[in-house]
Amino acid sequence: MTFNSLGGNIFLFGLGFILLAGGAELLVRGSSRIALRFNVPAVVVGLTIVAFGTSLPELLVSLLANLQGEAGSPMAIGNIVGSNIANIGLILGVTGLLTAIPVDRALVRREIPLVIIVSLLFTLMAWPGSINRLNGLLLTAGLLAFTYYSYNSSRTSPEKYEEGEEALELIDPEITEPSRTIAIDLGYVILGIVALVAGANWLVQSAQFIARAMGVSELIIGLSLVAVGTSLPELATSIIAILRKEGDIAVGNIVGSNLFNMMFIGGVASLIRPLPVPASMRTLDLPVMVGFSVLLFLLVLRRPHVIDRFEAAVLLIAYATYMAWLFFSGNIEPGVAAIIGFVGI
């Protein structure tokens, strides 16, 4: 499906987001039920299928964009970095304004510092102007090691095991029950894959058209609109988690997503084709990504480990400031910057 008008491509852009979010949920729902049917422990499903599934929109968008070469690679890297910034600044900011979010001590001691370390390593890898295949291999290996570590720690921690089951139940309260028929679950998987591929393709095509029509760089579109859209599964999961009084899952979801974005999406995308990094990202976007990780750590460091409404407002204001700087420093017409910046926020 293609359109030659701005309005048609804006419609296609929105449709792509809907298909990405819906396709990811269908794929996770179907594959989780199939795994549980074959007696795969719930904690393993929660740590692998669910974690990978919420990052599938970012993965497919970045892969398709990077495979287009120089024309699409700014959107690919912009989507990864922009999603990490949006996850902390926008999603935790919005959910934290709804209610105070408790943060598990293990996240403060291990996972959040790990996000800071990986963000710094990712920035160092990107600094020469490209994340090469060797970097991609190291990132992917790091993800496998992290998943293995998470699984081992869950085996000796009842709390971690319960979190795995709770992550599944956020998708479907009955998902841990045996599936009635495997055919239905296979149908979910197939429909999910089709929706993900179609949604990612339409989103990338329409985003490129919108960027050209508005005189905006594909990097800025990737850092803002595309990044926010592909983070919708994380937003939905976080809101459901806090509504069910499971705020620690909301923060864990964001932390895990940021690690997956860099190690899984950045790793796989650069393994298939080296991922170019625009020079402008070294002075703004990559340092901002690291800065948001550090800011999150500082906000939750003191006891009790909670993101209250004031701290959530700090995150949201910081994100809005970044969006404003991103657009108004890019020599974009003020009207266009205001429109896209508002949607991005």
Domain ranges of the chain: 6-344
Alpha helices in the chain, H assignment, sequence order: 6-37, 42-45, 51-54, 56-67, 73-86, 92-98, 105-106, 112-126, 133-155, 158-171, 182-214, 218-221, 227-230, 232-243, 247-260, 266-272, 285-301, 309-328, 334-344
Query: 323, 204 in Cβ contact below 8 A?
Result: no
How many CB atoms are located within 10 Å of the residue 87 CB?
27
Per CATH, the number for 6-344 is: 1.20.1420.30
Cα-to-chain-centroid distance, residue 70: 23
Q: pLDDT 10s per residue in the chain (345 long)?
A: 667 777 888 888 888 888 887 887 788 778 777 877 777 766 566 656 766 777 788 888 888 888 877 766 788 899 999 999 999 999 999 999 988 888 888 788 888 999 999 999 999 999 999 999 999 999 999 988 988 887 777 666 655 555 555 666 665 666 656 567 788 888 888 898 888 888 888 888 888 888 878 777 888 888 888 888 878 777 777 787 777 776 667 788 788 889 989 999 999 999 999 999 999 899 899 999 999 999 999 999 888 888 999 999 999 999 999 998 887 775 444 444 444 444 444
Q: Which pLDDT score, from 0 to 100, does residue 270 have?
A: 93
Query: 41, 176 in Cβ contact below 8 A?
Result: no
Among 217, 176, 204, which residue's Cα sits nearest to residue 50? 176
Q: Which pLDDT score, from 0 to 100, does residue 336 have?
A: 44
Q: Which pLDDT score, from 0 to 100, does residue 342 have?
A: 41
How many angstroms separate the CA atoms of 291 and 303, rounded?
21
How many CB atoms are located within 10 Å of the residue 7 CB?
8
> Residues 273-309, buried b or exposed e (16+ Cβ, 10 A)?
bbbbbbeebeeebbebbbbbbebbeebbeeeebebee
pTM here? 0.83
Which residues, at least 6 apart from 117, have a Cβ–Cβ distance to it below 8 Å?
none
Q: Evaluate the omega torsion of the peptide bond into residue 128 and state whether it is cis, within 30 degrees of 0.
A: no
How many angstroms separate the CA atoms of 293 and 238, rounded?
18
Query: 312, 290 in Cβ contact below 8 A?
Result: no
